[in-house]
């Protein structure tokens, strides 16, 4: 990464394995190219960036997200009216289910998973509701050399049926979601376990346990064992960062080298977020 100083923004690393707060930017206003270029550079360097005290309407959030690339459409949740790329992530006070409540990377079951996810805090509980992030560059680099050799050419198998199928995780959702009864349960896509980031050239560990149906050419039992090993290794505390949300916080993370986990520890209170995903490329 470049050692060039930031001139248009103020970047404050979290001190953890990833994450930095960006200050000195009002995202409700158009950004000049130099400011955006610095924000983009900070994102690639720190994997997760967040901005406090923003006041954003859905159109403003979408405008900022488009600077990073073409926006994706998430087919399983009704979007915010008039804004097809912005979906509400809501947990009501009486709800038990929370969206994203397991370590994962977004939409790994698609041919071209999103490169980035942008989440804006509209309403948060008085305590709890944090999001955990894990650095998959660090996870890959910390693997023993023999394990890296084993995984170098391995491919993981993903399917949306694990979460969005008739009996999938999201079938328990407390608010209306498309359970996609017509979802083809046989649909599978394969991606490399050792993924090369297209912008940085760095290798990252790429898997997403809730979306996975094993590994190509590996038995189901061996696949479960390997998923368990990778999960434990990737989410060790030294490779994670915990974001405490505040009203008006906007966060962007890099799905190509980050996993995340929304904590479900605020029962009896409401949490409302607006999510946008940014189209990516086929993992290689």
Domain boundaries, the chain: 10-278
Report whether pLDDT(44) > 60. Answer: yes
pTM above 0.85, yes or no: yes
Pairing of strands 87-91, 271-278: antiparallel
Domain 10-278 has CATH 3.60.130.10: yes
CA distance 120 to 113: 20
Residue 74 has what DSSP assignment?
Answer: -
Q: Which of 155, 239, 274, 275 is catalytic?
A: 275
Give the per-residue pLDDT at 170: 59
Beta bridge partners of 278: 71, 116
Is 164 in the active site?
A: no
Going 53 to 55 to 56 to 57, the CA torsion angle's sign is positive
Q: Which of 46, 72, 104, 254 is catalytic?
A: 104
Is 267 in the active site?
A: no
Is 41 in the active site?
A: no
Q: Are 177 and 76 in contact (CB under 8 A)?
A: yes
Residue pLDDT, tens place only, 143-169: 999 999 999 999 999 998 767 656 655
Report whether pLDDT(55) > 70. Answer: yes
Q: Which of 256, 260, 271, 274 is catalytic?
A: 260
Is 104 in the active site?
A: yes
> Of 82, 95, 111, 136, which is closest to residue 255 (Cα–Cα)?
136
Q: Which carries the bigger pLDDT value, residue 165 or residue 217?
A: 217
Q: How confident is the model at residue 77 (pLDDT cuts 50, 70, 90)?
A: confident
Q: How confident is the model at residue 35 (pLDDT cuts 50, 70, 90)?
A: very high
């Amino acid at each position: 990464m470049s050692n060039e100083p930031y001139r248009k923004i103020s970047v404050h690393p979290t001190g953890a394995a990833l994450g930095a707060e960006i200050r000195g930017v009002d995202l409700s206003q158009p950004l000049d190219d130099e400011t955006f270029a610095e924000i983009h550079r900070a994102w690639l360097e720190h994997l997760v960036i967040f901005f406090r005290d923003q006041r954003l309407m859905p159109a403003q959030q979408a405008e900022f997200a488009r600077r990073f690339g073409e926006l994706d459409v998430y087919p399983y949740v009704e979007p915010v009216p008039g804004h097809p790329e912005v979906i509400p992530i809501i947990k009501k006070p009486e709800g038990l289910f929370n969206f994203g409540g397991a370590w994962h990377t977004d939409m790994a079951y698609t041919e071209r998973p999103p490169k980035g996810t942008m989440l804006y805090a509209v309403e948060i509980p008085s305590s709890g509701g944090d999001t955990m992030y894990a650095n998959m560059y660090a996870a890959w680099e910390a693997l023993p050399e023999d394990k890296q050799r084993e995984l170098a050419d391995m491919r993981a198998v993903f399917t949306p049926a694990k979460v969005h199928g008739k009996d999938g995780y999201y079938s328990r959702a407390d608010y209306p979601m498309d359970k996609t009864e017509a979802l083809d349960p046989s649909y599978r896509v394969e991606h490399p376990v050792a993924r090369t980031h297209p912008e940085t050239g760095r290798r990252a560990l790429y898997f997403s346990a809730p979306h996975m149906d094993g590994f190509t050419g590996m038995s189901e039992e061996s696949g479960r064992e390997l998923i368990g090993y990778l999960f434990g290794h990737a989410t060790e505390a030294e490779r994670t960062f915990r974001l405490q949300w505040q009203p008006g916080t906007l966060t962007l993370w890099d799905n190509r080298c980050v996993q995340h986990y929304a904590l479900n520890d605020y029962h009896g209170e409401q949490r409302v977020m607006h999510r946008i995903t940014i189209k990516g490329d086929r993992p290689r």
